[in-house]
Amino acid sequence: MRSAGFLSENQRRLAWVGFLLAAFQAPLAANLIDDASWLFAVVVALVVATVILADDAQRRRPAQVEAE
């Protein structure tokens, strides 16, 4: 049996939506804005991607079986 990740299915779905929004917003903002504030969207996308990857890694681990 596989262990569940630390994100629920709803949180996982919201994380993917947040990642996609930030990833698409960064190049759009880079074209429209002269300053480097678009880098914040890149950082947010990277942080959310790291959380999604960590959740995936935890879900792929086999479940811990307690010794009796």
DSSP 7-66: S-HHHHHHHHHHHHHHHHHHHHHHHH-SSSTHHHHHHHHHHHHHHHHHHHHHHHSBPPPP
16: CB partners within 8 A, 6+ apart: 52
CA distance 6 to 19: 17
In a structure prediction context, what are the per-residue pLDDT tens digits for the chain, which is 68 residues long? 456 888 999 999 999 999 999 999 988 988 998 888 889 889 999 999 999 999 999 988 877 766 66
